[in-house]
Structure 1
Amino acid sequence: MGDVDLLERVFSLPVRTVKSIPPSCRLAFAQALTGAIHKVVASPGTVESWVKLLLLPRCTLKVVKPSSRQERRSGNRKSLQCDSILRALAMWKEGSGFEVLVNSLLADTGEGVVRGGEEQREIAEEVSPNIKQCLRKVSDGHFTAAVKVLCSSGVAPRGESTMQALIDKHPFAPPPNLPSTPLSQPALSVDEDCVHRCVKSFPKGTSCGRDGLRAQHLLDALSGEGCSRILLLRRP
């Protein structure tokens, strides 16, 4: 378990990761991330190590969806989210933990299913996507982004004109050719402070990639107790 096909299957799932790691979970995540990175550094040619590193955020930082009115309360929701992350991180350390977490994601086919009459009525209500996005930004404290969302014209319509506009904006480029002879020196060399500054330069609320890892996750892992444990920005 741990091949490219599995990576694509998990990436195709509608899994959302938390926007910020709860303080009580940051040290455990920093340790898990450090261990995954060390395995890649030790065996950079091993596909399984890369797959586990890329799937770590989705397996451990998945957003928990409350299933009842009591769980939807702010304090209960936060506690539920912390417990879920800590359980996933504890399982990640076990021998078969990765397989169990991935199988759980693949088996969670009810990701978009809504339970309960009240929730069904809420989903059925016609609400502008801009307003929904604005409310999410406000709840995260990103007020500047919320204003930008309100001023936006919304999502572009699906069609050939939109696709052509995207192609014009992002033209196709052939992949780079790797040199046949080994390089005499590293192609890129940066120090710890440079990497840290680059991570901190990401705007607040920057979205994640397909792996679910956000710049904020790295900043969270580098804060508090995690700062003294994580070796992401340090040379061995």
Structure 2
Amino acid sequence: MENFNWADLINPEFYINLEIAGHKIGIYVILFIIFAETGLLVGFFLPGDSLLFLSGIYSKALMAEVVYIENDFMNVWALASLVALAGIIGNTFGYWFGAKSGNYLYQKEDSWIFKKKYLFESKAFFEKHGGRAIIFARFLPIIRTFAPIIAGIANMEIKKFMLYNILSSFIWAYSLIFAGHYLYRYLLDNHQVDLTHYIEYIIIIIVLITTVPLVMKAIKSKGNKAE
């Protein structure tokens, strides 16, 4: 923490390797970030997809902070399950907050933490895709933060919400963490390529993949308004 830089806040490796008083706490920080990004308004700027992908690469070291598991697959499975659980709890909290806050957020003034435009973008996304928006939103930065809140404001049936919530959490966590782990193992074992040497490129690629759809949607919306 001595050489802390504000840019570290959007760097997944910073959280994974974080330690206090000589003790690694990366796994706990990751679980809190997943909760915050899916359940708290302040979590939208945090790295989500890239954090999970890199967590898959470092799964053994991360799980060692909690419990030692000799089996490689069980390490990845346990990590993905913990992340999925954090995502479920986060989304549930977001839903509850949306249901309780009602239209308060629509009256709230913009601040450096809260931008009302994100709320409207998420509302439009939710109205277009319905319950499936909860699943799609998991893979879209910013929208995944506001989607459960919108579901709560819209009084989406709790049973239906929880079904999509649980399903989306496991799909998101398992797909990204398992992809990160086994792609890393495959390239290292078969091509002697160590992905840990290309972390910066991995982060850039994942950010582009997840943000390009949002950028294209924004451009399309502006084009339609101009017409």
Q: TM-score, normalised by structure 1?
A: 0.26
Greater percentage in helix? 2
Q: TM-score, normalised by structure 2?
A: 0.27
Larger radius of gyration: 1
The answer to which structure, 1 or 2, has the higher relative contact order (CA under 8 A, 6+ apart) is: 1
